[in-house]
Structure 1
Amino acid sequence: MLTLGLYNTYDRNKVVEAHYRGIARGAPIAYAFGFNLALVGFPYDFEKQELVDFVRDNTTIGESGAYLQKLHDEKRLYVMDIPQKGFPAQFGSLVVTSSHGDKKKAVSSREVADMMARNKPLFILIGLGRKGLPKEYFEMAPYHLDITDGKGVSFETCTAIGAIAARLYTLAEQQKMAGSRKDR
């Protein structure tokens, strides 16, 4: 399982525009590059279909929620509260994304792509908002990914979502093709 997780660092008590716009932006990216989408800590008290409908009714981004609906229909959409003791094992190894992760846990985009090419379950977690991910996830995660591979360039959240998914997908596909050429 390959999952792109969006972690809410905006308001946890009321729905704000940044919530549904971030979800609407993340859904087509997850869909296009073969990721599941997990929404973590959003203040929605909806069933998944109600959430999809809410996003569709409140934004035109992502073809008005069409890709969020596709992810839901294909059972590739997960909505969860903030876990107290880590994420469910089904999501695989946690990869936190940051331009300033722990160097001892740093992993390159090629290394993550190699894991993807080998079908290793990964949960790639992105903080939605300027606060970034909470420190406990950096402690918990075995892998810290700077998508700029050590350059430490900080991206706006939605730019980061696109850059992370596109770069990892492209590198994983290149590795799969290189591996299939070796098998000939």
Structure 2
Amino acid sequence: MLTLALYNTYDTRRLHEAHLRAIARAGPIAYAFDFHLALVGFPLEGKPLDVAEKIAGNTTVGRGGKYLVELARNNKFHLLYFPRGGFPPQFGTPVATTRKPSEGKKITPLEVARRAVSGESFMLLVGLGRRGLPEEIFKLTQYHMDITGRGVSLETCTAIGAIPSKIRTLMEALQWKTDGQKNWRGYSSQL
């Protein structure tokens, strides 16, 4: 299981337009690349399906929130509290995404993909806000990953799109290489 987790560093007391835009944009990305979507520390209450339907009613992104609702219907949309000592284990190994991974905690997108193909689960955390992920999350996570491999700073929504697309593409390439598949997901061998 792969989870894209948006970590709220905006306002934790009141829902803002920035929250809604990021969630609306992340829904289709998670759906398209077969990721779960988790919201960490968002000021939202209710069951995931109810929250997804409410957000869907206020957006035109992702076919009017259709993909977010589909994630919720398939139990792939999660609402989490801020971690107190750790993230729920069912989401797998937490990975802080950053352009500056700590040397002792660095993991590459290829290594995440390789281990995911082998059945390991990862929760890839993206900081939603100007400050990105808080320092305590970098300490709490086992790994840090730079999706660009070049230390390039990405705008939050760009990172939300880049992370699942790169990990899934690497996974498909690894599976194609090892399984000898003739077709990649969504693409014919005639390319």
Report the TM range for the smaller structure's normalisation.
Answer: over 0.9
When normalised by structure 2's length, the TM-score is 0.91
Which runs of at least 4 in structure 1 moved beyond 3 Å after TM superposition?
none
Cα distance in 1 for partners of 2:8, 2:62 equals 19
Task: Find out whether 1:181 has 2:176 as its counterpart.
Answer: no
Cα distance in 1 for partners of 2:109, 2:74 equals 27
Structure 1 unaligned regions, length at least 5:
none
Q: Which residue of 2 aligns with 1:148?
A: 148
Cα shift readout 1:7-44 (whole Å, capped 9, x = no counterpart): 11111111100111100100110011010111110011
Cα distance in 2 for partners of 1:13, 1:121 equals 30
Cα distance in 1 for partners of 2:43, 2:37 equals 17
CA RMSD of aligned residues (A): 1.3
Mapping for residues 4-15 of structure 1, pairs under 5 Å: 4-15=4-15
| Equivalences, count | 181
Task: Report if aligned partners of 1:55, 1:64 keep a CA contact under 8 Å in 2.
Answer: no
**Alignment identity in percent?**
45
Cα distance in 2 for partners of 1:81, 1:111 equals 28
Task: Find out whether 1:59 has 2:47 as its counterpart.
Answer: no
Structure 2 unaligned regions, length at least 5:
182-191
Mapping for residues 15-94 of structure 1, pairs under 5 Å: 15-94=15-94
- CA drift at 1:53: 2.2
Task: Report if aligned partners of 1:3, 1:122 keep a CA contact under 8 Å in 2.
Answer: yes
Cα distance in 2 for partners of 1:118, 1:35 equals 16
When normalised by structure 1's length, the TM-score is 0.94
